[in-house]
Amino acid sequence: MDDGLVEAIRKDYRSAPIDARDRVMLDYVVQVTRDATKVGPEDHRRLRDAGFDDRAILQITLITAWFNYINKVADALGVGRS
């Protein structure tokens, strides 16, 4: 990825020049991160409609959960704090 695209995604993926499929995936990732208890069949349907199969949905969910977990561990241990 070029630096401009990375910066655009970092600022706001919703207005970044990415395809609709990636935007649907990132919408799901944000929802899982904010409140996974509110994820439901409609969210999975949107992913399927965007072309993700059940295996891909599982992988997206597992990777998102793992990053959320490891970031919480790092925060609790003060990793990266001065």
Walk along the chain (82 residues) and give the pLDDT tens digit of each residue.
699 999 999 999 999 999 999 999 999 999 999 999 999 999 999 999 999 999 999 999 999 999 999 999 999 999 988 7
Contact (Cβ atoms closer than 8 angstroms) between residue 27 and residue 52? no
d(CA 47, CA 29): 11
pLDDT for res 1:
66
pLDDT for res 69:
97
